[in-house]
Amino acid sequence: MDNLNGIGFYLISILTMGAIYAILTLGLNVQWGMAGLFNAGIAGFFAVGAYATAILTTAPSTSHLGGYQLPFALSLVAAMAISGALAWAVGKICLRLRGDYLAIATLGVAEIFRLVLRTEGWLTNGPDGIPEIPRPFEHLPEPWNLICFLLLLVALVLLVYGVLEVLRRSPWGRVLAAIRDDEPAARAAGKNVQAFRLQGFVLGSMIMGLGGALTAHYLKFIDPNMVDPFLATFLVWVMLFVGGSGNNKGAILGGVLIWAVWSFSEVISARLPSDFAVRASYVRIFLIGLALQYFLQRHPEGILPEQRATPKKGA
């Protein structure tokens, strides 16, 4: 084990990022799968979580705000809280919109976040980013430090999954599903539609912030270029559609599966002739699109379609 080869490290990296993307997809599943909210600004809340934990856990620096050196667990909670607070502010303004208009608004908000991170050097060190973000288990030798971090991520995925499953089956989750499926009927039944939509939006954004924070700790670095709308928004949507919208197990499966396809596409593009090297990134996007088309034609509702929640006896 101490002499783990390159393939072993590669598999660990795929599983680690797959677990992080599973968390991001679970967050999107709360917003879209449970509440029917079209959030095209996932990258914004991902970035907020990543930069929040970076600022809170790094050593003092003259190049950016920070130096608080908070413990890892506390920084995750803080990153989720900050992401949730910003989501609440955004939601109060934007959730009156519907469908494509909400998508455009959230996309614009995410771009505002990204521009702030790039231009406000006193806060984020601008385009140079924040290095030396501590990763848990760094004191252990390789590959045990990476394996332990992966196991921690698996535990967090299971924790988030368990909490969301309880919420999905609860009266709160059933109200969200009712609003998603027939908002006028839910409103006629006396439900505060706007409040429930806002709660779903905030909860999903907090989970996205958690995913961003875990990414920063895993990579030990964050900069604005890593907050790519393709990787942090579009790819997450592909994962949810492939896995199964409305199904938390499907969200996890889609996150791991599509990240594996994306990672493997890098291996394929690297083997292309030198004349095609410039087009390697387009080949990877093409392969993801091909995978999306294949899965949607074979499984229109995702590999694991939504299972309607059934209340417990006596509930």
Q: What is the pLDDT of residues 211-243, one digit of tens each?
A: 999 999 999 999 999 999 999 999 999 999 999
**Residue 315: inside a domain, yes or no?**
no
Mean pLDDT to the nearest integer, 189-196: 96
Identify the band that residue 91 occupies on the pLDDT scale cut at 50, 70 and 90.
very high
252 pLDDT exceeds 50?
A: yes
**Residue 1: inside a domain, yes or no?**
no
- Cβ atoms of residues 21 and 259 within 8 Å: yes
135: left (phi over 0), alpha (psi -120 to 50) or beta: beta
2 pLDDT exceeds 60?
A: no
> What one-character DSSP code corresponds to residue 226?
G
142 pLDDT exceeds 60?
A: yes
Percent of the chain at pLDDT > 90 equals 80
| The pLDDT of residue 278 | 66
Range of the domain at 16: 9-227
Percent of the chain at pLDDT > 70 equals 94
| The pLDDT of residue 313 | 54
The lowest-confidence range among 173-182, 255-264, 266-275 is 266-275
**Residue 186: inside a domain, yes or no?**
yes
d(CA 136, CA 145): 8
d(CA 78, CA 13): 26
d(CA 252, CA 157): 8
Residue type at 208 in one-letter notation: M
**Residue 252: inside a domain, yes or no?**
no
**Residue 138: inside a domain, yes or no?**
yes
Mean of per-residue pLDDT scores for the chain: 92
**Residue 160: inside a domain, yes or no?**
yes
**Residue 260: inside a domain, yes or no?**
no
**Residue 93: inside a domain, yes or no?**
yes
Number of domain units in the chain: 1
315 pLDDT exceeds 50?
A: no
312 pLDDT exceeds 60?
A: no
